[in-house]
Structure 1
Amino acid sequence: MSDTPIDRVAKATPPTVAAKIRGLSDRTIAWLFVAPTIFLLLAVNIFPLIWTINLSFTNFRANRPNRDVEYIGLRNYERILTDGDIWLTMQATAHFLFWTIVLQVLIGFTLAWLINRKFKGNDLWTTLIVLPMMLSPAVVGNFWTFLYQPQIGLFNYGVSFFTGVDPASFQMIGDVALAPWAIVIVDTWMWTPFVMLICLAGLRSIPDYIYEAAEIDRASKWRQFWTITVPMVLPFLMLAVLFRGIENFKMFDLVVQLTGGGPGSVTELTSINLKREAFEKWRTGYASAYAIVLFVTVFGLASIYVKALNKVKER
């Protein structure tokens, strides 16, 4: 007679409980297994969202918990939509999003196309290229802060070598015009490998016989690239853009490590501004409304983008 763990559990189960379990349908058993996960998701995600929505209609301040909470309706939302400083942070965020996504897509796709050619040392170069995305944003921020130092930064000496500018007078982080580009460069360096891997998966999913058929029809390499490679990799590219767009909209730690949100407001993204409102000015109700506005913005844009992505996949 077998004595497996399942048999021991069956023996230890009281007869009344075993009878009830045998009487359950497969659908009910499935719901019993899924229920703890659903409850956890509700507790971790849905309840904080509902609580934030509730706070957004109040003047609640977390540093004054004993103060009477007053419901002020849509006043917080009105202040947000008419606040010029918030629109400036939106512009800074849009600038950061646009250039990081453009550079990461162009460089990532180019690297994926080169690696897909399977040259000698392919695996080694792939591993080296992927290394930056394995690092912590805090480590990356400190590393690049050192590179950007006016006196000893290797980045400054590289610029000086090509342009002849004195490295001591060249400030990448402290300059109002160059600080946003400093963040764009670091984020591109760190997350281009992620886009590359997604593009590489798309390139390797294209069957070889499609290219063979195109060669039989005497299609040039350039023609094959635009009529076969780009259309078939486009869904993967769009997926990479979606992931990076959502993540960069929430960018916080890397920017703080590099610039601290300065100089001025040129690098103060929406996430940093939200943090200031919530944990420096302690305008919790106002910050909650701000968070809801950002959530609706990201959710709405992502929904429209996903519909476009699905249409591309159906072609």
Structure 2
Amino acid sequence: MVTSTLERAAEATPPGAARRIKGLSDRAIAWIFVAPSIFLLLAVNIFPLIWTINLSFTNFKANRNREVEYIGLRNYERILTDADTWATMQATAHFLFWTIAVQVLIGFTLAYLINKKFKGNDMWTTIIVLPMMLSPAVVGNFWTFLYQPQIGLFNYVVAFFTGADASSFSMIGEVALAPWAIVIVDTWMWTPFVMLICLAGLRSIPESIYEAAECDRASKWRQFWTITIPMVLPFLMLAVLFRGIENFKMFDLVVQLTGGGPGNTTTLTSIDLKREAFEKWRTGYASAYAVILFVTVFGLASIYVKALNKVKER
């Protein structure tokens, strides 16, 4: 039946087109299929990047119709010598470190527990992954409501330990606690993602390895440190890479929760970049800022991927 279908398709092909196709090599045919994707990639990603780099050397402002002047590296110099910019990067690094550390710890623990077959395993897995299916804007509004005075559980807990008035206390209104409020929300939303990656790693370990270890009288604790952790480590590192890149450009969730405040305590680099580009309209300056962030993320990710590849080769 397949042969007859191919024969009918060949008969329906115009003779001229058939001769042209027959004369193409496999490489040429492959390029015909790949070329549209490459063109789309260049149009959507590469061209805007080149244009951004070009604007970063100018004083261009999108809301003003005036002659654009090339000012060299002045934008980069201003950014790298600005104390507020370094404070923003420090806040971003703080957010990245704690969200990744907590998510990996809780995510791996949940994956380890769910990997043990028990009654209701599938139901609990479904319940746990529900938060990551929600929109960040919806999650931000939901948790903003929970952080309101007299409503949020976390407000009461923190108010109890700090001695504050629980009836008027809110974590997102406190300078010292607002960053932690964001860490809690991001952990609640994205820990299931880390859990799924770790669960895939745990279930990829052959049972025969554990059986051999038991024959050698290795304890459960020794099996965990010499078999489970080394074999799941590449998956853990992959989860850290994904969450690190995503959290570095975190924007919508933070804006919904705190708007970057109180003060600038939760102003991440993504929020600072948005303010420079669309509130102050310093387009050239914002382009230089974007290039610096791109180089930072790309450089760190490249180093991290090399380390990940070395771990996989062991």
TM superposition score category, shorter chain reference: over 0.9
Map 1:14-163 onto structure 2 (within 5 A): 14-64=14-64, 66-159=65-158
Question: For the residues of structure 2 that align with 1:124 and 1:240, how far apart are their CA atoms?
Answer: 23
Q: Which residue of 2 aligns with 1:242?
A: 241
Question: For the residues of structure 2 that align with 1:142 and 1:4, how far apart are their CA atoms?
Answer: 59
Deviations 1:277-308 (A, max 9, x none): 00000000000000000000000000000000
Code of the aligned partner of 2:301: A
Q: Alpha-carbon deviation of 1:10?
A: 4.1
Q: Alpha-carbon deviation of 1:4?
A: 7.7
User: What SS class does the counterpart of residue 59 from structure 1 fall into?
Assistant: coil
User: What SS class does the counterpart of residue 169 from structure 1 fall into?
Assistant: coil
Question: For the residues of structure 1 that align with 2:121 and 2:53, how far apart are their CA atoms?
Answer: 50
Code of the aligned partner of 2:190: W
Q: Alpha-carbon deviation of 1:13?
A: 3.6
Give structure 2 stretches of 5+ with no counterpart: none
Q: Alpha-carbon deviation of 1:63?
A: 0.6
Q: Alpha-carbon deviation of 1:11?
A: 4.5
Q: Which residue of 1 aligns with 2:265?
A: 266
Q: Alpha-carbon deviation of 1:163?
A: 7.6
Deviations 1:144-190 (A, max 9, x none): 00100013334324556788754223220010000000000000000
Question: For the residues of structure 2 that align with 1:252 and 1:130, how far apart are their CA atoms?
Answer: 22
Say which is worse superposed, 153-162 or 223-232, in terms of deviation: 153-162
Q: Alpha-carbon deviation of 1:133?
A: 0.2
Say which is worse superposed, 213-222 or 157-166, in terms of deviation: 157-166
Q: Which residue of 2 aligns with 1:200?
A: 199
Question: For the residues of structure 2 that align with 1:256 and 1:167, how far apart are their CA atoms?
Answer: 24
User: What SS class does the counterpart of residue 243 from structure 1 fall into?
Assistant: helix
Q: Which residue of 2 aligns with 1:289?
A: 288
User: What SS class does the counterpart of residue 24 from structure 1 fall into?
Assistant: coil
Shift in CA distance, 160/58, structure 1 to aligned 2, threshold 3 Å: closer
Question: For the residues of structure 2 that align with 1:5 and 1:50, how far apart are their CA atoms?
Answer: 48
Give structure 1 stretches of 5+ with no counterpart: none
Shift in CA distance, 312/292, structure 1 to aligned 2, threshold 3 Å: same
Say which is worse superposed, 30-39 or 163-172, in terms of deviation: 163-172
Deviations 1:239-276 (A, max 9, x none): 00000000000000000000011011110000000000
Question: For the residues of structure 2 that align with 1:301 and 1:32, how far apart are their CA atoms?
Answer: 35
Q: Alpha-carbon deviation of 1:8?
A: 6.1
Tell me the C-alpha RMSD between the 2 structures. 1.8
User: What SS class does the counterpart of residue 263 from structure 2 fall into?
Assistant: coil
Deviations 1:124-143 (A, max 9, x none): 00000000000000000000
Deviations 1:67-100 (A, max 9, x none): 1000011110001110110000000000000000
Using structure 2 for the length normalisation, give the TM-score: 0.96
Using structure 1 for the length normalisation, give the TM-score: 0.95
Question: For the residues of structure 2 that align with 1:145 and 1:297, how far apart are their CA atoms?
Answer: 31
Q: Which residue of 2 aligns with 1:218?
A: 217
Question: For the residues of structure 1 that align with 2:5 and 2:189, how far apart are their CA atoms?
Answer: 47
Code of the aligned partner of 2:32: L
Question: For the residues of structure 1 that align with 2:114 and 2:238, how far apart are their CA atoms?
Answer: 20
Counting aligned pairs with the same residue, the percent is: 86
Question: For the residues of structure 1 that align with 2:220 and 2:3, how far apart are their CA atoms?
Answer: 64
